[in-house]
């Protein structure tokens, strides 16, 4: 397999990581593009990418970390960073956020995350704990769960309540979601994209966002339907079967950023 083909297989997930790390699709994609351009200009770096996801994420992280240090106290060029996202990022150190995303959303082991971040493995767990503690200082909210599988819906309900949030409703179809929202807009939405009656979770979410700006986390067995690059993509996308720690981290991040529509 060529280097290009190997990298292409990992790109949707690197873009997801970049988007969650920066809080913006356009900013995340700009850093991914810069990483690939650096690889094209450096034969040694390009050859290292044959090693799979770890060296690719390591190359990205090195670029992003140095750029963050350069711009965090300076005026940010238009189109590269969004002021609101940067204000939120300043509340949590970049290394903590990287450790959290790598070990939860991206499902790297602590050893792999340590290699990517170029730190000791023993530091990764501490950074993750600090990040979660900082993020979970956010206020509680009401959550709408759009999910047509009863067991998964109940699992998500239990998880949401364990984090101190309330369930304002559950829905297995777009129509049911509309009925819940008619009684009040939720503060957060967890949504599948393929629902019981053939309706779409994407359409259900669009209905909600037409009313108010609400953070949304998609939880789906079909992430490739959303990671195409053809349309604005969700900032928070979790693949089924999921780990509860991954959902917990995504909920904390979504409320931390207060994000609604995909940022781009």
Q: Assess if residue 86 is contained within a domain.
A: no
How confident is residue 171, by pLDDT bands cut at 50, 70 and 90? very high
Q: Do residues 57 and 113 both lie within one domain?
A: no
Q: Assess if residue 98 is contained within a domain.
A: yes
From 42, 74, 106, the end of a domain falls on 74
How confident is residue 79, by pLDDT bands cut at 50, 70 and 90? very low
Q: Assess if residue 81 is contained within a domain.
A: no
Average pLDDT over residues 48-53: 86
Q: What is the pLDDT of residues 109-143, one digit of tens each?
A: 999 999 999 999 999 999 988 877 776 665 679 99
SS3 of the chain: the string is CCHHHHHHHHHHHHHHHHHHHHCCHHHHHHHHHHHHHHHHHCHHHHHHHHHCHHHHHHHHHHHHHHHHHHHCCCCCCCCCCCHHHHHHHCCCCHHHHHHHHHHCCCCCCHHHHHHHHCCCHHHHHHHHHHHHHHHCCCCCCEEEEECCCHHHHHHHHHHHHHCCCEEEEEECCHHHHHHHHHCCCCCEEEECCECCCCCEHHHHHHHHHCCCCCCEEEEECCHHHCCCCCCCCCCEEEECCCCHHHHHHHHHHHHHHCCCCCCC
**pTM score, whole prediction:** 0.57
Q: Assess if residue 80 is contained within a domain.
A: no
Q: Do residues 240 and 151 both lie within one domain?
A: yes
Query: What percent of the chain has pLDDT above 90?
Result: 41
For 146, the token pair is: 């759009």
- Angle at which helices 94-103 and 110-117 cross, to 10°: 140
Q: Do residues 22 and 116 both lie within one domain?
A: no
CB-based contacts of 216, cutoff 8 Å, min separation 6:
188, 189, 191, 205, 208, 209, 234, 236, 254, 260
Q: Do residues 160 and 250 both lie within one domain?
A: yes
Q: Do residues 147 and 253 both lie within one domain?
A: yes
Range of the domain at 119: 91-135
Q: Assess if residue 82 is contained within a domain.
A: no
For 6, the token pair is: 């190997």
Q: Do residues 110 and 173 both lie within one domain?
A: no
Number of domains the chain contains: 3
Q: Do residues 48 and 19 both lie within one domain?
A: yes
Q: Assess if residue 173 is contained within a domain.
A: yes
């Amino acid at each position: 397999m060529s280097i290009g083909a190997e990298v292409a297989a990992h790109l949707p997930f690197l873009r997801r990581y970049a988007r969650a790390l920066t809080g913006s699709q356009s900013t995340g994609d700009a850093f991914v593009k810069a990483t690939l351009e650096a690889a094209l200009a450096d034969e040694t770096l390009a050859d290292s990418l044959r090693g799979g996801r770890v060296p690719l994420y390591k190359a990205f992280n090195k670029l992003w970390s140095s750029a963050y240090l350069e711009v965090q106290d300076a005026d940010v060029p238009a189109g590269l960073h969004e002021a609101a996202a940067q204000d939120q990022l300043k509340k949590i150190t970049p290394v903590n956020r990287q450790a959290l995303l790598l070990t939860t959303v991206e499902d790297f082991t602590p050893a792999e995350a340590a290699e990517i971040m170029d730190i000791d493995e023993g530091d990764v767990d501490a950074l993750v704990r600090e990040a979660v503690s900082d993020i979970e200082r956010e206020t509680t909210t009401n959550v709408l769960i759009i999910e047509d599988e009863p067991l998964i819906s109940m699992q998500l309900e239990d998880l949401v309540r364990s984090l101190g949030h309330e369930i304002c409703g559950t829905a297995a179809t777009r129509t049911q979601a509309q009925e819940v929202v008619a009684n009040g807009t939720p503060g957060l939405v967890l949504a599948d994209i393929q629902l019981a009656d053939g309706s779409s979770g994407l359409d259900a979410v669009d209905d909600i966002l037409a009313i108010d700006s609400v953070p949304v986390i998609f939880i789906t067995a079909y992430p490739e339907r959303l990671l195409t690059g053809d349309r604005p993509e969700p900032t928070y996308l979790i693949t089924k079967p999921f780990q509860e720690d991954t959902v917990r981290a995504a909920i904390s991040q979504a409320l931390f950023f207060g994000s609604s529509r995909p940022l781009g």
